[in-house]
Structure 1
Amino acid sequence: MRTNIIRHESMMVSYDVVNGWTVVEIDGEVDAHTAPMLREAVINLVDEGHRHFVLDLGFVTFMDSMGLGVIVAITKRIREREGSLRIASVSGRMLRIFDLSGMRESYEICPSSQEATQSVPLPGSLAHWPHPAEGTDPA
Protein backbone atom coordinates (compact mmCIF):
# COMPACT_ATOMS: atom_id res chain seq x y z
CA MET A 1 0.00 0.00 0.00
CA ARG A 2 1.49 3.31 -1.11
CA THR A 3 1.73 5.92 1.66
CA ASN A 4 2.12 9.65 0.97
CA ILE A 5 4.78 11.28 3.15
CA ILE A 6 5.09 14.70 1.49
CA ARG A 7 2.44 16.77 -0.25
CA HIS A 8 3.85 20.06 -1.41
CA GLU A 9 2.92 22.35 -4.30
CA SER A 10 6.04 21.41 -6.27
CA MET A 11 6.77 17.88 -4.97
CA MET A 12 4.97 14.78 -3.75
CA VAL A 13 6.72 11.83 -2.13
CA SER A 14 5.23 8.46 -1.32
CA TYR A 15 6.59 5.07 -0.38
CA ASP A 16 5.69 1.41 -0.49
CA VAL A 17 7.49 -1.70 0.74
CA VAL A 18 8.22 -4.27 -1.97
CA ASN A 19 10.26 -7.46 -1.44
CA GLY A 20 12.10 -5.97 1.56
CA TRP A 21 12.78 -2.64 -0.18
CA THR A 22 11.24 0.68 0.80
CA VAL A 23 10.50 2.23 -2.58
CA VAL A 24 10.38 6.02 -2.28
CA GLU A 25 8.77 7.63 -5.32
CA ILE A 26 9.52 11.30 -5.83
CA ASP A 27 7.25 13.33 -8.09
CA GLY A 28 8.19 16.94 -8.92
CA GLU A 29 11.10 19.24 -8.24
CA VAL A 30 13.96 18.50 -5.84
CA ASP A 31 15.59 21.86 -5.19
CA ALA A 32 16.75 24.11 -2.37
CA HIS A 33 13.16 24.51 -1.18
CA THR A 34 11.99 20.87 -1.28
CA ALA A 35 15.25 18.97 -0.65
CA PRO A 36 15.17 19.46 3.15
CA MET A 37 11.65 18.01 3.27
CA LEU A 38 12.77 14.98 1.27
CA ARG A 39 15.79 14.47 3.52
CA GLU A 40 13.68 14.66 6.67
CA ALA A 41 11.02 12.29 5.31
CA VAL A 42 13.51 9.57 4.29
CA ILE A 43 15.56 9.94 7.49
CA ASN A 44 12.31 9.49 9.45
CA LEU A 45 11.73 6.23 7.56
CA VAL A 46 15.28 5.11 8.43
CA ASP A 47 14.67 6.02 12.07
CA GLU A 48 11.42 3.99 11.97
CA GLY A 49 13.44 0.91 10.98
CA HIS A 50 13.44 0.92 7.19
CA ARG A 51 16.92 -0.07 5.99
CA HIS A 52 16.82 -0.88 2.29
CA PHE A 53 15.72 1.82 -0.12
CA VAL A 54 14.99 2.39 -3.77
CA LEU A 55 14.73 6.05 -4.74
CA ASP A 56 12.49 6.16 -7.80
CA LEU A 57 13.32 9.35 -9.70
CA GLY A 58 11.10 8.62 -12.71
CA PHE A 59 8.78 11.55 -12.01
CA VAL A 60 11.42 14.07 -10.94
CA THR A 61 11.08 17.09 -13.23
CA PHE A 62 14.03 19.05 -11.87
CA MET A 63 16.94 18.40 -9.53
CA ASP A 64 19.70 20.80 -8.54
CA SER A 65 22.82 20.37 -6.41
CA MET A 66 20.70 20.47 -3.25
CA GLY A 67 18.87 17.40 -4.52
CA LEU A 68 22.13 15.58 -5.10
CA GLY A 69 23.25 16.63 -1.62
CA VAL A 70 20.11 15.10 -0.14
CA ILE A 71 20.83 11.80 -1.89
CA VAL A 72 24.32 11.82 -0.34
CA ALA A 73 22.92 12.67 3.12
CA ILE A 74 20.31 9.91 2.84
CA THR A 75 22.99 7.46 1.70
CA LYS A 76 25.16 8.25 4.72
CA ARG A 77 22.27 7.62 7.14
CA ILE A 78 21.31 4.38 5.41
CA ARG A 79 24.94 3.26 5.45
CA GLU A 80 25.17 3.92 9.20
CA ARG A 81 22.30 1.44 9.66
CA GLU A 82 23.93 -1.15 7.35
CA GLY A 83 21.22 -0.68 4.79
CA SER A 84 21.26 -0.50 1.02
CA LEU A 85 20.20 1.98 -1.63
CA ARG A 86 19.38 1.74 -5.29
CA ILE A 87 18.39 4.56 -7.62
CA ALA A 88 15.66 3.73 -10.16
CA SER A 89 13.91 5.14 -13.21
CA VAL A 90 16.53 7.77 -13.95
CA SER A 91 15.83 9.74 -17.12
CA GLY A 92 18.61 10.58 -19.54
CA ARG A 93 18.62 14.14 -18.25
CA MET A 94 18.91 12.99 -14.64
CA LEU A 95 21.60 10.45 -15.56
CA ARG A 96 23.61 13.30 -17.06
CA ILE A 97 23.43 15.12 -13.71
CA PHE A 98 24.77 12.00 -11.98
CA ASP A 99 27.54 11.79 -14.61
CA LEU A 100 28.54 15.45 -14.32
CA SER A 101 28.63 15.27 -10.54
CA GLY A 102 30.73 12.10 -10.57
CA MET A 103 28.03 10.29 -8.59
CA ARG A 104 27.04 7.70 -11.20
CA GLU A 105 29.78 5.25 -10.24
CA SER A 106 28.80 5.47 -6.57
CA TYR A 107 25.26 4.17 -6.97
CA GLU A 108 23.52 1.12 -8.31
CA ILE A 109 21.17 2.59 -10.92
CA CYS A 110 18.30 0.41 -12.15
CA PRO A 111 16.01 1.02 -15.14
CA SER A 112 12.86 0.75 -12.98
CA SER A 113 11.79 0.24 -9.39
CA GLN A 114 10.39 -3.14 -10.43
CA GLU A 115 13.86 -4.27 -11.53
CA ALA A 116 15.44 -2.70 -8.43
CA THR A 117 13.20 -4.74 -6.14
CA GLN A 118 13.46 -8.11 -7.92
CA SER A 119 16.24 -9.35 -5.65
CA VAL A 120 16.10 -9.11 -1.89
CA PRO A 121 18.37 -6.49 -0.30
CA LEU A 122 21.79 -7.39 1.01
CA PRO A 123 22.70 -5.78 4.35
CA GLY A 124 25.82 -3.66 4.22
CA SER A 125 25.78 -3.18 0.45
CA LEU A 126 26.91 0.42 1.02
CA ALA A 127 30.04 -0.64 2.89
CA HIS A 128 32.26 0.55 0.03
CA TRP A 129 30.26 3.70 -0.71
CA PRO A 130 31.08 6.19 -2.23
CA HIS A 131 32.96 3.78 -4.48
CA PRO A 132 31.24 0.77 -6.06
CA ALA A 133 31.93 -2.63 -4.59
CA GLU A 134 34.07 -4.93 -6.69
CA GLY A 135 32.11 -7.02 -9.12
CA THR A 136 29.13 -4.66 -9.33
CA ASP A 137 28.12 -2.92 -12.48
CA PRO A 138 27.61 0.80 -11.75
CA ALA A 139 25.42 1.26 -14.84
Structure 2
Amino acid sequence: MTDSPVPEPLAFRVDSRDVQGASVVEVAGEVDAHTAPTVHDAVEAAIAPGARVIVDLREVSFLDSTGLGVFVTALKHVREAEATLDLVITSARVLKVFELTGLDVVIPIHEELPPLLDS
Protein backbone atom coordinates (compact mmCIF):
# COMPACT_ATOMS: atom_id res chain seq x y z
CA MET A 1 0.00 0.00 0.00
CA THR A 2 1.36 3.42 -0.93
CA ASP A 3 0.65 6.59 0.92
CA SER A 4 -1.32 9.14 -1.03
CA PRO A 5 -0.45 12.74 -0.36
CA VAL A 6 -3.11 14.57 1.57
CA PRO A 7 -4.14 17.74 -0.25
CA GLU A 8 -3.39 20.95 1.58
CA PRO A 9 -6.49 22.80 2.75
CA LEU A 10 -6.99 26.29 1.40
CA ALA A 11 -5.03 28.53 3.71
CA PHE A 12 -7.26 30.82 5.75
CA ARG A 13 -6.34 34.44 5.28
CA VAL A 14 -7.85 37.87 5.94
CA ASP A 15 -6.34 41.05 4.49
CA SER A 16 -7.64 44.60 4.63
CA ARG A 17 -6.78 47.51 2.36
CA ASP A 18 -8.16 50.82 1.16
CA VAL A 19 -9.03 50.99 -2.53
CA GLN A 20 -10.47 54.12 -4.14
CA GLY A 21 -11.97 55.29 -0.85
CA ALA A 22 -13.46 51.91 0.06
CA SER A 23 -12.34 49.58 2.84
CA VAL A 24 -11.85 46.19 1.20
CA VAL A 25 -11.61 43.09 3.40
CA GLU A 26 -10.36 40.06 1.46
CA VAL A 27 -11.09 36.63 2.93
CA ALA A 28 -9.76 33.26 1.73
CA GLY A 29 -10.29 29.70 2.92
CA GLU A 30 -13.05 28.37 5.16
CA VAL A 31 -15.13 30.66 7.37
CA ASP A 32 -16.40 28.60 10.29
CA ALA A 33 -16.61 28.71 14.09
CA HIS A 34 -12.82 28.66 14.32
CA THR A 35 -12.05 31.41 11.78
CA ALA A 36 -15.18 33.61 11.94
CA PRO A 37 -13.89 35.74 14.86
CA THR A 38 -10.93 36.86 12.72
CA VAL A 39 -13.27 37.81 9.87
CA HIS A 40 -15.54 39.59 12.36
CA ASP A 41 -12.66 41.65 13.75
CA ALA A 42 -11.48 42.70 10.27
CA VAL A 43 -14.96 43.67 9.07
CA GLU A 44 -15.77 45.55 12.28
CA ALA A 45 -12.46 47.46 12.04
CA ALA A 46 -13.49 48.66 8.57
CA ILE A 47 -16.85 50.05 9.73
CA ALA A 48 -16.86 53.78 10.40
CA PRO A 49 -19.43 56.53 9.92
CA GLY A 50 -20.13 56.89 6.21
CA ALA A 51 -17.63 54.16 5.26
CA ARG A 52 -17.92 51.99 2.20
CA VAL A 53 -17.09 48.44 3.26
CA ILE A 54 -16.57 45.71 0.67
CA VAL A 55 -15.92 42.13 1.77
CA ASP A 56 -14.32 40.07 -0.97
CA LEU A 57 -15.30 36.42 -0.49
CA ARG A 58 -14.18 35.18 -3.93
CA GLU A 59 -11.57 32.89 -2.37
CA VAL A 60 -13.85 31.51 0.36
CA SER A 61 -14.52 27.81 -0.14
CA PHE A 62 -16.95 27.27 2.76
CA LEU A 63 -19.07 29.46 5.03
CA ASP A 64 -21.14 28.09 7.92
CA SER A 65 -23.77 29.70 10.15
CA THR A 66 -21.12 31.25 12.38
CA GLY A 67 -19.61 32.94 9.35
CA LEU A 68 -23.05 34.08 8.26
CA GLY A 69 -23.55 35.61 11.70
CA VAL A 70 -20.53 37.83 11.07
CA PHE A 71 -22.40 39.49 8.21
CA VAL A 72 -25.68 39.81 10.12
CA THR A 73 -23.79 41.67 12.87
CA ALA A 74 -21.85 43.73 10.33
CA LEU A 75 -25.06 44.75 8.58
CA LYS A 76 -26.49 46.01 11.86
CA HIS A 77 -23.35 48.01 12.65
CA VAL A 78 -23.07 49.38 9.09
CA ARG A 79 -26.63 50.66 9.28
CA GLU A 80 -25.96 52.28 12.66
CA ALA A 81 -22.88 54.00 11.18
CA GLU A 82 -24.77 55.09 8.06
CA ALA A 83 -22.17 53.20 6.05
CA THR A 84 -22.54 50.67 3.23
CA LEU A 85 -21.71 46.97 3.01
CA ASP A 86 -21.22 45.02 -0.22
CA LEU A 87 -20.04 41.45 -0.73
CA VAL A 88 -18.17 39.94 -3.67
CA ILE A 89 -18.99 36.24 -4.12
CA THR A 90 -18.25 33.90 -7.03
CA SER A 91 -18.72 30.51 -5.35
CA ALA A 92 -22.18 29.02 -5.93
CA ARG A 93 -21.81 27.13 -2.66
CA VAL A 94 -21.15 30.30 -0.63
CA LEU A 95 -23.80 32.30 -2.49
CA LYS A 96 -26.39 29.59 -1.74
CA VAL A 97 -25.94 30.18 2.01
CA PHE A 98 -26.84 33.85 1.58
CA GLU A 99 -29.78 33.02 -0.70
CA LEU A 100 -31.24 30.39 1.64
CA THR A 101 -31.25 32.86 4.52
CA GLY A 102 -32.49 35.82 2.48
CA LEU A 103 -29.40 37.89 3.24
CA ASP A 104 -28.81 38.31 -0.49
CA VAL A 105 -31.88 40.58 -0.45
CA VAL A 106 -30.53 42.95 2.23
CA ILE A 107 -26.79 42.86 1.47
CA PRO A 108 -25.77 43.71 -2.11
CA ILE A 109 -23.80 40.84 -3.63
CA HIS A 110 -21.59 41.23 -6.71
CA GLU A 111 -19.49 38.86 -8.82
CA GLU A 112 -16.58 41.23 -9.42
CA LEU A 113 -14.66 43.77 -7.41
CA PRO A 114 -13.39 46.28 -10.04
CA PRO A 115 -16.81 47.35 -11.42
CA LEU A 116 -18.02 47.76 -7.85
CA LEU A 117 -15.22 50.21 -7.13
CA ASP A 118 -16.05 52.25 -10.22
CA SER A 119 -19.63 52.87 -9.08
Deviation, 1:26, is 0.2
Deviation, 1:10, is 4.8
Q: Secondary structure of the residue that 1:33 maps to in structure 2? A: coil
Larger radius of gyration: 2
Partner of 1:81: 81
TM-score (norm 2): 0.82
- By percentage of residues, which structure has more helix? 2
Query: For 1:8-46, what per-residue CA distance to the aligned partner results, in whole angstroms no more than 9, with x for missing partners?
Result: x95211122122211111011110111112112221232
Q: Secondary structure of the residue that 1:117 maps to in structure 2? A: helix
Partner of 1:70: 70
CA contact (8 A) 2:50 2:84 kept: no
Q: Secondary structure of the residue that 1:77 maps to in structure 2? A: helix
Q: Call closer, same or farther: CA 1:112–1:55 in 2, change over 3 Å.
A: same
Deviation, 1:90, is 3.0
Q: Which runs of 4+ in 1 moved over 2 A?
A: 44-47
TM-score (norm 1): 0.71
Instruction: In structure 2, give the amino acid aligned to 1:14.
Output: D
Gaps of 5+ in 1: 1-8, 120-139
Query: For 1:64-105, what per-residue CA distance to the aligned partner results, in whole angstroms no more than 9, with x for missing partners?
Result: 001110011111112111100111133111111111112111
Cα RMSD, aligned residues only: 1.9
Partner of 1:102: 102
Gaps of 5+ in 2: 1-9
Count of paired positions: 110
Percent of residue pairs identical: 37
